[in-house]
Amino acid sequence: MIVVLFGPPGSGKGTQAKKLWSEKQIHHLSTGDMLRSAIQNGTPLGQAAKSFMDQGSLVPDDVVIDLIAEKTDSGICKDGFVLDGFPRNILQAHALDLMLKKRGRSVDRAVLFEVPDEDLIRRLSGRRTCVSCGAMFHLDHVPSKSASACDQCGKALIQREDDRADVIQKRLAIYHQQTEPLVAFYRQQDKLRSLDARKSPEEVAVALSEALCTGKK
Ligand code: AMP
């Protein structure tokens, strides 16, 4: 099954995609994680992407399209995968459809994670991320045992540049302008399902499982 998870930044797509991987072994492809790992490894791709990401802008389409094409062609994705953070606009959605069509495949389902902007601002500004393993914590909802170290690997916890208040506003504006049109795109293809992502991660996981397994909209 090929699944697209989309929604505003901070809506919990990454958490659910990781859960699908750990519980159902459905491979998880996150363009945000791939780009952050390229930055951490100091690759030319990372160096090119960093300034866009720090400012909350989208990285150029050709860069992320190439990243996804390379991964989906690898053997680990042959039984299906979950895309988290891609596509981010209509051009990327068309590129994905074309890329899959050439390989005799297609997106099976696109799931929209709905959360109002006010909740997202609260979620993102309190978020802390491990520099090493990418584990995420929240100052109020999922506090780490130590304010500065990751519970899972002990490395430093930071506030991502793009989780700063001014950058969050910009990311939300870009989401509404560029990513939200995917709602109509996938609705037209009768692949759209949506869920209320304000609920607890456990409740969202149940809703996601229903969205993937049933015809319920
Ligand atoms: P995320 O972790 O998905 O919130 O992504 C973090 C940042 O990575 C975004 O704000 C963009 O700068 C960049 N990024 C991730 N995915 C894409 C994409 N599909 N297209 C363009 N930029 C992306």
Residue with the smallest CA separation from ligand 1 atom 11 is: 58
Please tell me the distance from the alpha carbon of residue 11 to that of residue 119, in angstroms, as a whole number.
9
List residues bridging with 162 in a β-sheet. none
Residue with the smallest CA separation from ligand 1 atom 19 is: 86
Whether 59 is in the pocket of ligand 1, judged by its Cβ within 6 Å, is: yes
Supply the pLDDT for residue 214. 65
| Contacting residues for 180 by C-beta, under 8 A, at least 6 apart | none
Domains of the chain plus CATH, in order, are: 2-26+79-117+173-211 (3.40.50.300)
Task: Name the band, by pLDDT with cuts 50, 70 and 90, for residue 215.
Answer: low
Strands 27-30 and 81-84: parallel
Structure tokens at 27: 């491979």
Active-site amino acid positions: 13, 88, 127, 160, 171
- Per-residue pLDDT reduced to its tens digit, 51-92: 999 999 999 999 999 999 988 877 777 788 999 999 999 999
pTM of structure: 0.87
